[in-house]
Amino acid sequence: MSLSVELIRFLASVHPYDTLTEAELGALAEHCSLAEMSAGQQVFGVGDVVEYLYLLVAGEVEVFDEVGAPLSFLGPRNSFGERAILRGTHASRTAIVFADAAMIRIPAATLNALIAQHPAVARFFDRTGRAQPAKRDLATMAVEGLMTRDPVVCPPDSTIREAASKMYAQRISSICIAQDGAFQGIVTLRDMNGKVVVEGADPTADVATIMTRAPLTLGPKALVTDVLHLMVERGIGHVPIAEGETLVGIVTQTDLTRAQAMTSADLVGRVSKAQDAAQMARATAEIPQLLVQLISSGSRHEVVTRLITDIADTATRRLLALAEAELGAPPVPYLWLACGSQGRQEQTGVSDQDNCLILSDDVTEADMPYFEALARFVCDGLNTIGYVYCPGDMMATNPRWRQPLSVWRSYFDGWIAKPNPEAQMLASVMFDLRPIGGDTSLFDGLQAETLRKASANSIFVAHMVANSLKHYPPLGLLRGLATIRAGEHRNQLDMKHNGVVPITDLGRIYALQGQLAPVNTRARLEAAMEAGVLSVTGGADLLDAYDLIATMRLEDQVSQIKAGDAPDNYLDPATLSDFERSHLRDAFVVVKTMQSAAGSGKGALS
C-alpha cells in the first residue's frame, strides 16, 4: 500500500531521501508501507530474515545485541534494519518497540535498488566507504595490480655480458638476480653504464659483482603510492616486489607513468629534496589541503593516514641526513624510530611527534653528545615543519629515550616484570614502535622477543588490559552520546581519546595476546581475526566501528579546514544527521561491548 501524502512529505524531510526528485519519491512511496506497533512488540529478532528497512515516524525502539545487551535507543527519524539487508545476512540483533511506534517500511529489494541507482543514498548507507566503486588510482591500488609479473631474472654467476644481452633482447631497463628462487639483487642500465662503460668492469665477470645487493623491496599488498614515494625519496627507478625472499614482480617508472600521479608524492618529493627545515615547512604546510583532496576523492581513512604519515617519515629521514651532513658521520650505528600515530601510520591533519633512538651497544659516553645533537636537530626540525614537540616529552631529545639496545631490552624486561601504572603507559607507547631511519638491524628480533615475553606474563597482560580500558567511548544514559560538559570543547565529542584511541588500545591488546607483528590498528584487528585471537563476528563489528569513527573524525577535520580553521579532534554532534548520530552511537556501543569482554577476562573470543 502506498504512503499518504503526509508520510511522503515526512520521508522527503529525512536524509538521504531528501536528495530524490519528486517523481523518484513518488515511485519509492509506491513500494513502502506504514506499520504501527505497540510497546513490547518485537520488530525482528536474532536469526530472523530482515525484509524491511524501518524508518521511525513516531515512538521509540530499542535494539539489543545477540546476547541481549542494549545497543541503541531510537526515536523518530532514525532507521534500523539496514545492517542485515546490506550484509545479506540474517539479523544479529533484536529490535523491540519501547513506546508505541509508527514506522515506514522500505522493502529490502527497494533499498538495494536505491543504493545502486543513487550515489547519495549509497554514500549515506555506507559510512565506511566500502560500497563506493573501486577507483583505479595510486591511493587505492595495490602494487599487485600494477607490477610486472615474472620479471626477467638471471643467476648471480651469469656474466655481465649475458645479463646485458637479456636486457637488450627484452627491451628492459633492469634485470633481477636470483638463485634457486631466492632474490639476491638487481642490475639496472645505470649500473651497466656506470660500472661497465665508465669504470671498466670486465664484461665476462659474474653479474653479481655489479649488482645492488638486497635492494629495497615492497610486498604485493603495498600501495602503488608507496612505490612512488620510495622512488621519489631515494632517487631510484625500479622497485622489486617480493614476498619474503621470493621475487614476485617489479614496478618501474614506466609502470608508474601509466598511472595517475598524486599530490602526496609531490609533497614527498619536495620534502626529500629540501635543504633545511624552513624549506620543508613550505611543503608540509600543504598537508591540510592534501587531506581535503584525499577525503573529497573518497579515499578510505586508512589510505589517507598512510599517505600523510609517509610525508612525516620522509621529513624525518631528510632531517637525519641534514643532521649527519652538519655533524659528520655517526660514531656508531643508530636507529630512529617513531611511536604514537606516526608509528602506527595513522597521522591525520593534527599530529605531534613521538620518537626515540636505539644506539649500538658499542656506543661510549664520548659518543653521546653526538646523538644528543642529532636528536635536537631532528626534533627541532620536526617542530618547525608542524609536528610539535610531544607534551609528554616522548622524544629522542629526552636522554631516557636515547639509549643503547641493551638498555632498551632492560626497559621492556622491567616493564613486563613490574607492570606499575608508569610501566603500563610506557609499554603501550613503545609497543607501537616502527623504524624510520638508520640501521634497522638494531630492531631485528626486539619486537618479537618483547611480544613473546609480554604475552607469557599473565599479570602483565592483565594490567595492560586494565590500562587499555582507561579510555572509554562517550556513552551516557540509555547509551546516548555523552559530550564534554565544560571548557573550550563543551558539548563536543573527543574523537581521538574517546573515539579512535579505545580501539587502538584494543588492537594493541590483541597484538600482545597473539604475538602479532603489525603496528597499524586496522592491520592488528585483521591479523587478530586471522590468528583466532578475535572472533570473526566481534572483529567485523569492531572493524566497522573503527572505520565509521575514524572516517567521521577525518571528515570533521576536513570541514574545519574548509571553514578556514585549524583541524582538531573535536566533533559537535549537533552537526550530524539523526542517522549519523544513531550509527555513531552504535559504533561506540560496539567498542564498549568489546572493552567489557576484554575487561571481564572472557577474552576477545567470548
50-65 residue pLDDT tens: 999 999 999 999 888 7
Burial of 232 per CB tally in 10 Å (0-12, 13-18, 19+): buried
Q: Would you state the pLDDT for residue 253?
A: 81
Reported as a pLDDT band with limits 50, 70 and 90, residue 580 is: confident
CATH code for position 513: 1.20.120
CATH code for position 116: 2.60.120.10
Quickly count: other Cβ atoms within 10 Å of residue 292's Cβ.
18
pLDDT tops 60 at residue 184: yes
What pLDDT, in 10s, does the model give residues 59-96? Answer: 999 888 777 767 677 788 888 898 888 878 888 889 99
How far is 246 from 241, CA to CA, in rounded Å? 9
Residue 365 grid coordinates:
659516553
CA neighbor of 543 nearest in space, from 555, 556, 530: 530
Q: Clarify whether residues 11 and 26 are in a common domain.
A: yes
Contact 481, 581 (CB under 8 A): yes
Strand partners, 106: 53
Q: Would you state the pLDDT for residue 478?
A: 59
Q: Is 134 domain-assigned?
A: no
> Rg of the chain over CA atoms, in angstroms?
27
List CB contacts of 243: < 8 A, sequence separation 6 or more.
219, 220
Maximum C-alpha span of the chain? 91
What pLDDT, in 10s, does the model give residues 122-159? Answer: 877 775 444 444 444 555 567 877 788 889 999 999 99
How far is 542 from 288, CA to CA, in rounded Å? 28
- Tell me 90's DSSP state: -
How far is 211 from 509, CA to CA, in rounded Å? 43
Reported as a pLDDT band with limits 50, 70 and 90, residue 338 is: very high
**How many Cα atoms within 13 Å fall on the side-chain side of residue 228?**
28
Q: Clarify whether residues 377 and 404 are in a common domain.
A: yes
CATH code for position 435: 3.30.460.10
Q: Is 454 domain-assigned?
A: no
Q: Clarify whether residues 245 and 351 are in a common domain.
A: no
Q: Is 382 domain-assigned?
A: yes
Length of the chain: 606
The residue among 257, 285, 307 that closes a domain is 257
Q: Would you state the pLDDT for residue 606?
A: 40
Burial pattern 172-194, b for ≥16 Cβ within 10 A else e, equals bebbbbbeeeebbbbbbeebbee
- Tell me 442's DSSP state: G
Q: Is 524 domain-assigned?
A: yes
Q: Clarify whether residues 427 and 474 are in a common domain.
A: no
Q: Is 455 domain-assigned?
A: no
Q: Clarify whether residues 499 and 366 are in a common domain.
A: no
Q: Is 457 domain-assigned?
A: no
Domain of residue 481 covers 469-599
The residue among 239, 257, 275 that closes a domain is 257
Q: Clarify whether residues 49 and 154 are in a common domain.
A: no
User: Measuring CA to CA, how many Å separate 504 from each of 167, 200, 344, 416?
Assistant: 48, 55, 9, 20
Report the domain count for the chain: 4
Strand partners, 79: 55
Reported as a pLDDT band with limits 50, 70 and 90, residue 185 is: very high
Quickly count: other Cβ atoms within 10 Å of residue 150's Cβ.
9
CA neighbor of 604 nearest in space, from 527, 518, 497: 527
Q: Clarify whether residues 248 and 272 are in a common domain.
A: no
What pLDDT, in 10s, does the model give residues 356-385? Answer: 999 999 999 999 999 999 999 999 999 999
Amino acid at 431: F
Q: Clarify whether residues 545 and 593 are in a common domain.
A: yes
Contact 347, 387 (CB under 8 A): no
The residue among 226, 257, 288 that closes a domain is 257
Q: Is 459 domain-assigned?
A: no
Average pLDDT score, the chain: 89
Contact 604, 594 (CB under 8 A): yes
Q: Is 565 domain-assigned?
A: yes
Q: Clarify whether residues 101 and 204 are in a common domain.
A: no
CATH code for position 160: 3.10.580.10
CA neighbor of 346 nearest in space, from 464, 171, 227, 496: 496
Give the residue carrying C-alpha cell 577535520.
557
Q: Clarify whether residues 199 and 294 are in a common domain.
A: no
Q: Clarify whether residues 548 and 419 are in a common domain.
A: no
How far is 30 from 112, CA to CA, in rounded Å? 16
Q: Clarify whether residues 62 and 14 are in a common domain.
A: yes
Q: Would you state the pLDDT for residue 415?
A: 94
